[in-house]
Structure 1
Amino acid sequence: MPDGLLPIEWIGMALLIYLYLMYRAIRHAPWKRMLEPATFNTFLGACVVLLVIWSMRAGISPGMSFHYLGMTTLTLMFGWQMALIGASLVLFGITLNGGAGWHTFPVNILLMGAVPILFSHWLRGQLERRLPLNFFIYVLGNGFFGAGLAVALSATVTVLVLLLSGTYPMSRLSYEYLPFFPLMMVPEGFLNGMVTAVLVGFRPEWVHTFDDRRYIAGK
């Protein structure tokens, strides 16, 4: 979202929520593991890839843009704490390049980062508790379906913010944004699912939430 789109009260509220989440993320992040050279380089590489992906977007009106998020894969690879930190770095780069507003930074990071990240983290926990630990459940449940639902939730929250803040009426949102929900969910799920399957198949050590001894051994 560009600057000047939302009332200052909404930006202030988003800033408080973002600062609280960042405090929790920084405090509970697995720093010992992240400071290992291989893991750190993988994390930086993932952020660079996301920076390129987030730079490619389309939209009709300000605040209603469409692009891949990739937050589900980032969450599965590094956990929600580092995923939020990584998303913040990516958005900082996008904003520095003029692709978003500085004043709306907390709103943008919550909508494009925190919402899909926390949902992906919650869904993974639910799948682990309620379904058997299985390779295909991990990839399909978290990667394909989880990513699709995460981007749908992100878009839904975006609609609510634009509507409740008085930025756009429902008639305009239902015409310019809501019809494209399926077009956002399917490619997001396919991209994250494909990347997740490749990573757990060939580079499982890059996916911190995946343990092949639990998901594959003896299955």
Structure 2
Amino acid sequence: MENTVQFSTIQLIASIISLIVAYLLFKNLPLTQLKVNKKLQHLVFGCCASVFILWMFRTGIYEGLTVHFLWLAALPLILGFRWAMFSACLVLLGVTLTGEENVNMLGVNFLLGVLLPISITYGIYSFTFHKLPRNIFIYIFLCAFIPGALTIALKMMALSGYYYLDGVYDWPTIHDNYFIITSLMLFPEAMFNGMTITILVIHKPHWVCTFHDKLYLKNNHTP
């Protein structure tokens, strides 16, 4: 007998929403640029490879309650929102195909593990760009370091809520083996994303889509 994938109600709803969101995000994405624009090609697939490796190295006792670095605060700063979503989706498909994530969790992981972190980061970047002084230290700290901590905290809290509401695990199991680790992941994730952006804006600023020398270095002023 062939194995069939069983979806819970929440998983099915999440999958449908994910398909709609993915269609709206990618329907006008100029994928042909990946063929003609070598810089974009190298950045997108280089980021894919980097994030894939990070997501493969994970730890945890119970299935699903695993912890790993995200690097999803730096990703939209480097690629922009839609290309970051595209890159992260390829990684999510990759770790699902390799068996690190369950197929029935694809929709949930897309919404809580990809869309939520990247949207939060890009939202913070957009706010700081339009409302705060355009300063390199503000860019690094408020757009990369703090979002790094926020993204992993929100992802882990959201997934904790999902596992409890869907009845996958009881709350003591989730709390003792997953939720409680959230505080331990905040600083490492923040530092990892902050250092990534710091190194790139110093040595390879042209690789960072959202960073512009004339705005953050030569023309520091309040918008």
How does the TM-score come out when normalised to structure 2? Answer: 0.89
Q: Rg larger in 1 or in 2?
A: 2
2:6 and 2:104 in contact (8 A); partners too: no
Aligned to 2:86: 85
Shift of 1:54: 0.6
Shift of 1:174: 2.0
Shift in CA distance, 183/95, structure 1 to aligned 2, threshold 3 Å: same
Aligned to 1:150: 151
* Cα distance in 1, alignment partners of residues 171 and 202 from structure 2: 44
2:5 and 2:103 in contact (8 A); partners too: no
Amino acid at match of 2:157: T
Aligned to 2:66: 65
Shift of 1:132: 0.7
* Cα distance in 1, alignment partners of residues 109 and 4 from structure 2: 13
Question: What is the percentage of aligned positions where both structures have the same residue?
Answer: 29
1:75 and 1:120 in contact (8 A); partners too: yes
* Cα distance in 2, alignment partners of residues 4 and 69 from structure 1: 30
Moved more, 38-47 or 166-175: 166-175
Post-superposition CA distance 1:69-119 (Å, at most 9, x none): 111111111122111111111122212222112222122222221110111
DSSP 3-state at the match of 2:73: helix
Shift of 1:7: 5.1
DSSP 3-state at the match of 1:133: coil
| CA RMSD in angstroms, aligned pairs only | 2.1
Aligned to 2:139: 138
Structure 1: which 4+ aligned runs deviate by more than 3 Å? 3-7, 27-35
How many residues are aligned here?
A: 217
* Cα distance in 1, alignment partners of residues 146 and 75 from structure 2: 15
Aligned to 1:206: 207
Shift in CA distance, 126/46, structure 1 to aligned 2, threshold 3 Å: same
DSSP 3-state at the match of 2:104: coil
* Cα distance in 2, alignment partners of residues 30 and 213 from structure 1: 27
Shift in CA distance, 89/198, structure 1 to aligned 2, threshold 3 Å: same
Shift of 1:211: 1.4
1:6 and 1:165 in contact (8 A); partners too: no
1:25 and 1:82 in contact (8 A); partners too: no
Aligned to 2:76: 75
How does the TM-score come out when normalised to structure 1? Answer: 0.91
Aligned to 1:162: 163
DSSP 3-state at the match of 2:62: coil
Post-superposition CA distance 1:166-203 (Å, at most 9, x none): 22222222222222112111111111100011111111
Within a 5 Å distance, the mapping from 1:14-25 to structure 2 comes to: 14-25=14-25
1:54 and 1:67 in contact (8 A); partners too: yes
1:28 and 1:81 in contact (8 A); partners too: no
Shift of 1:208: 0.8
DSSP 3-state at the match of 1:167: coil
Amino acid at match of 1:50: V
Shift of 1:61: 1.3
DSSP 3-state at the match of 2:102: coil
Amino acid at match of 1:93: G
DSSP 3-state at the match of 1:166: coil
2:5 and 2:104 in contact (8 A); partners too: no
